[in-house]
Amino acid sequence: MHLLETWIVRLNRALVAFALAAVFLIVFANVVGRYGFGSSFAWVEEVARHLMILGAFCGAGLALREGRLVAITTVPDLLPDTLATTLRWGIVIVMFAFMATMLWLGIRFVEFGWNKETMSTGISRGIPYLAIPIGCALFLIQLLFFAKRFVAQEFEAGLDPEIEKLEV
């Protein structure tokens, strides 16, 4: 179980890092192309946007793990521990219900967009819309694994190299 979780996190990280790297490369190549060779491509803008959206939705689960989904914690901080824990379980359930609904709506939205085209590349608009159900599904998986630690507020450090080590 633990091994499965480790691998899902690794794959998820690789996915979002790849999306960002790809977006970075094609946008930068387009600048170089325009100035170096006087040519640029219509698809760059659209493909970059859609890859970024995919990366953004798919990173939600990782953001959850690293405690980057900010919340206003005044109330749980004031509550006694047991109540705060109960409240956090409530939040887990609410987040799960919301993202499950978005997953379902996302699938319907992909179907809805399937017979339409994107403006530049002319691919089916359902393809970029896939980012929503894929992202929601990944988030739900991460939430299932992480729910207990979310309630205990045991967030992960992520892949942080230690900024703290900097010295003057």
Partner 1 sequence: KELKYAHFQAADLSSPKHAAALAFEACVEGKTSGSIDVQIFPASQLGGGSEIMEGLQLGTVQMAAIHDGPISAVYKPFSVLAMPYLFDDQAMAWSVMDGEFGDALADDMLAKTGIRNFGVADNGVRNFTNNVKPVAEPADMEGLKMRVMTAPVWITLVESLGASATPVPWPELPGALQQGVVDGQENGVTNIVNASLYQHQKYVSLDGHVFSWHAYLMSDMFYASLTGDEQAAVSQCVEISKTIHRGMTAAQDANATAILSDLGMEVVPVSPEQKAMFRAAAQPAVREYIVGEIGEDWPNRLDAAVEAYKAQ
Partner 2 sequence: MAKTLIILFFATLFLSVPVAFTMGIAGLSAIFINGGLNPLVATQRMFAGIDSFPLMAVPFFILASELMTACGLTNALLRFANALVGHVRGGLGHVNILVSMLFAGISGSALADAAGPSAIVMRMMREAGYEKNYAGALSAATATIGPIIPPSILAVIFAISTNGVTVAGLFLAGIVPGVLLGVSLAIANHFVSTRNGYRGREHRASASELRSATFSAVPALIMPGIILGGILFGVFTPTEAGAVASAYALFLGFILRAFTARTLYAAFVRAAVVTSSVFLIVAMASIFAWLLTYLQIPQELAKLITEITDSRLGILFILAAFALICGFFIDTLPALIILTPILGPIAYSAGIDPLQFGMMLVLNLTIGMITPPVGPVLFVIATVGQLKIEALSKAVLPLLLAELIVLLLVILVPGVSTFVPNFFGFAN
User: Contact positions toward partner 2, by CB under 8 A?
Assistant: 13, 16-17, 19-21, 23-24, 27-28, 30-31, 35, 45, 48-50, 52-53, 55-60, 62-64, 66, 68-76, 87-88, 90-91, 94-95, 98, 101-102, 105-106, 108-109, 112, 128-129, 131-132, 158-161, 163, 166-168
Closest approach of Cβ 120 to partner 1, in Å?
5
Residue 41 or 96: the one with the smaller Cβ distance to partner 1 is 41
**What is the C-alpha separation between 11 and 84, in angstroms, rounded?**
32
Instruction: Kindly report the backbone phi and psi dihedral angles of residue 120, in degrees, each rounded to the nearest multiple of 5, phi listed first.
Output: -95, -50
Closest approach of Cβ 152 to partner 2, in Å?
15
Which one of partner 1, partner 2, none interacts with residue 48, CB within 5 to 8 A by kind? partner 2
Can you list the alpha helix ranges (DSSP code H) found in the chain?
2-37, 42-58, 60-65, 74-78, 81-113, 126-129, 131-151
Closest approach of Cβ 117 to partner 1, in Å?
5
**What is the C-alpha separation between 156 and 146, in angstroms, rounded?**
10
Q: CA neighbours within 13 Å on the CB side: how many for 129? A: 21
